[in-house]
Amino acid sequence: MLFLLYLTSIQSLITALLIFFNKKFKQEDFYLTMFFGVVFCHLVYKISLIFIYNNADLFEKLHGSFSFLYGPMIYFYMVSVFGKKIRTKQIFYHCLPFFIGFVLNIVILFISVNHPLFDSIINFSNLVVMLLLVPTFLGYSIYSLKFIRDNYTDSNPIFDLKIKIIKVISIIFNFLGLLTFMGLIFLAFNISSAINLRFVFYFLMLFIFVYVIHIRFAIFFEMQKQETLGVKTDEKYKNYELDSAEMDEIITSINAYFKFKKGYLDSEFNLDKLSLDLRISKVKITQALNVQLKTNFYQYINTLRVEEAKRLIDKKQDANFVTIGYESGFKNKSTFYKYFKQITGATPSDYKRMLVE
């Protein structure tokens, strides 16, 4: 058990440091780093109980309440991935159960160890924490999966990989909730289990660490791939019949079309429609965009939509962002927020605030 505890704590620290020193997405990576940092602190707390108090009951039943932070950190990560702003008040409310629980844990440690009712106090504390952890794990995980289902539409490879992290951790949180519920059943009916539930917990944590590192490497390689897209697109079309002048002409036609017709304001607008209206084949349009502008059709029109959104934010100071997103041609709020942040580097609310300042 002790070896697994050491291994899990070291792995959590390594994962946190890898993300921290290789931050690609500032706010998102902060919360992901914090998640692994919380796991590390939780495990160090457990190790400390072993060495300081040498008390098996304390180790098993005094949780430190760090588990109450697991759900909030992944929730904050998910929200930031979808480009939404997290307010200080939200952070406070989501983390409040941890602060209350941690203070109570410290009180128990310093006051109750030599108390005649120590066993009763520690058992009661363990029961309360386990009762609260079941809805905490299940609540955050189910909400995260539902949020993704309702908001996850348009995507790109890097965004897909981030969603995988959230999904896998949420599924494991579901399992942890059920695991905690099993522990409550065993406790209530005094059932001895052949499986040590704490072992299962540590193995699940190890799996999360390894999986996230794997996905982070995948994100890194995907970013490298996208950075070299310009070179690759030139090679891809080197045997095609279009020359530079023809591609310039196509780009001019596309720009003129969108300037006067603004088809991108229709959320259902697609490459087929553009090809039909311009009487230019989809292959030629794609080639011109890839080679001349180093972009693809959907990136191009989403950039135009973001520019329209910026104009509307400046013009309609009282309009809400959902309305602006729809008027700019985005299908839903999450898609609007995602591309706005991706293209401008700021959320719509941050952009509006900068305009005012």
Which of 199, 227, 255 lies at the terminal end of a domain, its last residue? Answer: 227
Instruction: Look up residue 278 and give its amino acid.
Output: L
155 shares its domain with 219: yes
CA nearest 336: which of 244, 260, 264?
264
Q: What is the pLDDT along the chain (357 residues), one digit of tens a residue?
A: 688 888 899 999 999 998 888 766 567 888 999 999 999 999 999 898 888 888 777 788 887 789 999 999 999 999 888 767 788 899 999 999 999 999 988 888 877 667 777 778 888 888 898 999 999 999 999 999 998 887 776 556 778 888 999 999 999 999 999 999 988 888 888 887 656 778 888 899 999 999 999 998 988 887 776 555 544 554 555 555 577 788 888 999 898 888 878 888 988 888 888 888 888 888 888 888 888 888 888 889 999 999 999 999 888 877 788 899 999 999 888 888 888 988 888 888 888 888 776
133 shares its domain with 70: yes
Backbone angles phi, psi at 348, to 5 degrees: -55, -40
| Angstrom distance (rounded) from CA 270 to CA 273 | 5
59 shares its domain with 171: yes
| Angstrom distance (rounded) from CA 334 to CA 26 | 19
212 shares its domain with 262: no
- Fill in the DSSP letter of residue 156: -
Task: Please report how the helices 197-227 and 2-20 are oriented relative to each other, as an axis angle in degrees rounded to 10.
Answer: 20
282 shares its domain with 186: no
Q: For residue 70, give its domain range.
A: 2-227
| Phi and psi based region of residue 83 (left: phi greater than 0; alpha: psi -120 to 50; beta: remaining) | left
User: Which CATH number goes with the domain that contains 257?
Assistant: 1.10.10.60
Instruction: Look up residue 40 and give its amino acid.
Output: F
195 shares its domain with 61: yes
| Angstrom distance (rounded) from CA 133 to CA 101 | 12
253 shares its domain with 236: yes
196 shares its domain with 242: no
Which of 167, 197, 227 lies at the terminal end of a domain, its last residue? Answer: 227
Mean pLDDT value across the chain: 85
241 shares its domain with 207: no
| Angstrom distance (rounded) from CA 86 to CA 34 | 15
CB 257 within 8 A of CB 278: yes
- Structural domain count, the chain: 2
267 shares its domain with 348: yes
| Angstrom distance (rounded) from CA 17 to CA 6 | 17
- What does the angle CA 27 – CA 32 – CA 37 come to, to the nearest 5 degrees? 120
Rounding to the nearest 10 degrees, give the CA dihedral for residues 140, 48, 131, 92.
Answer: -40
Which of 227, 249, 277 lies at the terminal end of a domain, its last residue? Answer: 227
pTM: 0.65
User: Which CATH number goes with the domain that contains 96?
Assistant: 1.20.1070
47 shares its domain with 166: yes
Two structure tokens written together for 283: 């292959």
Which burial class, exposed, middle or buried, applies to 206 when counting CB atoms under 10 A from its CB (0-12, 13-18, 19+)? middle
CA nearest 267: which of 337, 310, 330?
330
CA nearest 169: which of 220, 207, 133, 131?
207
What's the helix, strand, coil split of the chain in %, to 5? 80, 0, 20
CB 177 within 8 A of CB 133: yes
End-to-end CA distance of the chain: 56
15 shares its domain with 118: yes
